[in-house]
Amino acid sequence: MKVRSKLADIDFQFGRFEYKKDHLIVHSHPDQSMQSKVYISPNDVLSAFGRALSNPMVWVYFLGFPYFLVRYRRRHAKKRVVNSR
């Protein structure tokens, strides 16, 4: 997952998950140079689902997900082949 902001561009890889005081905490993968944690509250989940389900582009992405997944993996497999030469 890529996170882009004015402060930094981060390639966030999921590590372990933890539950603490009504929050889901997502830790970045231990191999990442910049360690981070994402705190997700129950209100965050409801807000995200509400916004996502009311946006038509999210539905298009979900319905087209199998196609997007295959296309994404093929593109990245080709890049790896070209870069390994």
Residue 25 CB contacts under 8 Å (≥ 6 apart), including other chains: 17, 18, 19, 37, 38, 39, 40
45 and 19 within one domain: yes
pLDDT digits (tens, 9 = 90+) for 2-12: 878 888 787 88
pTM, 2 dp: 0.67
49 and 76 within one domain: no
44 and 67 within one domain: no
Domain total for the chain? Answer: 2
Stronger pLDDT, 33 or 44, i.e. the higher one: 44
Measured in whole angstroms, the distance separating CA 15 from the mean position of its chain's CA atoms is 12
pLDDT score for 3: 79
Longest CA–CA separation in the chain, Å = 50
pLDDT digits (tens, 9 = 90+) for 46-84: 999 999 999 999 999 999 999 999 999 998 887 777 776
pLDDT score for 20: 94
pLDDT score for 70: 95
45 and 20 within one domain: yes
